[in-house]
Homo-oligomer: A and B are copies of this chain.
């Protein structure tokens, strides 16, 4: 049964109490804050969180395949193709042939790719330090461990 529509005054103060008790909601809000700020930090380097993560994993794991990279990033392989296309098109990475398996691509970072990765990482670390300044070292560690624990449940 639906109530009749009637005129009502707007509220003065909006209460968040129910949602604030939900870790999922708090996680989303905190992530959005970090993601938006990180986006601004990486934009001058023409990177996003996802392309930065992919470039970093490639630079740190010379020769990994797209399947391995998709797995490491926790995204589906079809979604990785455009990411790899973009990084390759900018000359930051290479799709190398793999001996004895002509289906696979072994990804490697070029020198410009590694240089951009280093610059981006420095910017990201500065961003993290700035955002996490509201937490003391102990809280930071507790946060990291809790997040990795939750991630591990997938």
Chain A residues near B (Cβ < 8 Å): 1-3, 5-11, 14-36, 38, 49, 53, 56-57, 60-65, 68-69, 71-72, 74, 91, 94-99, 101, 104, 106, 108, 110-112, 121, 124, 127-128, 131-132, 134-135, 139-140, 142-154
Instruction: Give CA–CA (A118, B15) in the complex, Å.
Output: 17
Can you list 25 A-B contacts (CB < 8 A)? A7-B96, A9-B63, A10-B64, A10-B98, A11-B68, A14-B64, A16-B57, A17-B60, A18-B57, A19-B57, A21-B144, A23-B128, A24-B49, A24-B127, A26-B148, A28-B31, A29-B74, A29-B147, A30-B148, A32-B154, A36-B154, A134-B153, A139-B149, A143-B146, A146-B146
